Amino acid sequence: MDTENYMNFSGIASLSDLKSRKWIELFSEMEKMQDEFLGKDHLFRSDDYKWPRDALHNWSRIWEYPWTYHQLHEFKAKFKSDQNPKIADIGSGVTFFPFEVARLGFYLTCVDVDPVVERDLLAASKIISPGSGTIAVELTNGNELPFANNSLDAVYSVSVIEHIPDFKKTIDEIYRVLKPNGLFGLTFDLDLRGDSEIGINKYKELIGQINSGFDELLGKRIAHPADFLTSRNSPERMPGPPALAVTKYAVKRVLKSIMNVGDPVLGPPHLAVYSGSYIRKP
């Protein structure tokens, strides 16, 4: 197994990936950073922040955060040590991860639609050190990103795009704000059952939209379906508000079944996680 380059691929994450030396090292580093973050979050965390405090120990984040960090680490290595590339986290929430990324030496702007995120992250940035980087926060209306054309060196988004109804507009906006040859790192939940957010047709639409403005940076790896990392076999569960959404989903299915409207009771969504690294076309 190539432990040094084991994360240099686009495609569906597998359970085998969690046995690689590279993943184990990065995940251990993430846990230390999150411990530091959570040890101080009582100083900045609002009671009305609705998402789980422990963002890392989530069925998909255990892969998405290390994979995204690795791509950004490799990208930063292309710059001089005293350069601080400008990047953005789309849909950041209030987690340790932006601080982990900023410490690579990035000028990082977290973008979100939630005013609570803006308030809490700004408070956190006064308490948690971003190392040699910086952290800023901008709110978005969900339609436009708050950046000038060709102004960012990189953009990343972790499990957000599947929750945006008009992802075409978001991809267009990311293309607009990135510099030519800028990096776009993306992860999202991939529906394996065909009745959730990124099913077959939505997947084709999303990849087609990305390919119209971006070139793949990494080779595509094909994993065996039996080895897919999924919401059912992950070492970590799907916590917090997503679990509530799953419960509502299941109740809706039961009611439809009882009312004989033709929908089977399928239970919670069956999801895999897709990771892709792209370069903006000129």
As a whole number of angstroms, the distance between CA 30 and CA 25 comes to 9
* Mean of all residue pLDDT scores within the chain: 89
- 152-172 pLDDT per residue, tens: 999 999 999 998 988 999 999
pLDDT computed for residue 243 by the predictor = 43
Token pair belonging to 214: 């971006």
Query: Residue 123 is part of which domain span?
Result: 10-238+270-280
* Residue 250 belongs to some domain of the structure: no
pLDDT attached to residue 276 = 96
CATH number at residue 171: 3.40.50.150
Q: Is 171 exposed, middle or buried (0-12, 13-18, 19+ CB in 10 A)?
A: buried
Strands 178-191 and 152-158: parallel
What's the pLDDT at 60?
A: 97
On whether residue 62 sits in a domain, the answer given is yes
Q: Tell me: the pLDDT tens digits for 55-66?
A: 999 999 999 999
Share of the chain above pLDDT 90, in %: 79
What distance, in Å, lies between the first and last C-alpha atoms of the chain?
36
Does residue 256 belong to any structural domain of this protein? no
Is residue 246, in this structure, part of any structural domain at all?
no
Task: Note whether residue 218 is domain-resident.
Answer: yes
* CA–CA dist 41, 272 (Å, integer): 30
Whether 210 is covered by a domain: the verdict is: yes
The token pair that represents 110 in the structure block:
């977290």
Say what the alpha-carbon torsion angle 175, 177, 181, 185 is, to the nearest 10 degrees. Answer: -70
| pLDDT band at residue 250 using 50, 70 and 90 as cut-offs | very low
Q: Report the number of distinct structural domains present in the chain.
A: 1
Residue 259 in domain: no
Q: Is residue 5 part of a domain?
A: no
Q: What 8-state DSSP symbol labels residue 1?
A: -
Residue type, 157: S
Query: Tens digits of per-residue pLDDT, 107-145?
Result: 999 999 999 999 999 999 999 999 999 999 999 988 899
Contact (CB, 8 A) for 135 and 121: yes
pLDDT tens digit sequence for 23-52: 999 999 999 999 999 999 999 999 999 999
pLDDT at position 267 = 67
What is the spatial distance between Cα 189 and Cα 184, in angstroms, rounded to a whole number?
A: 17
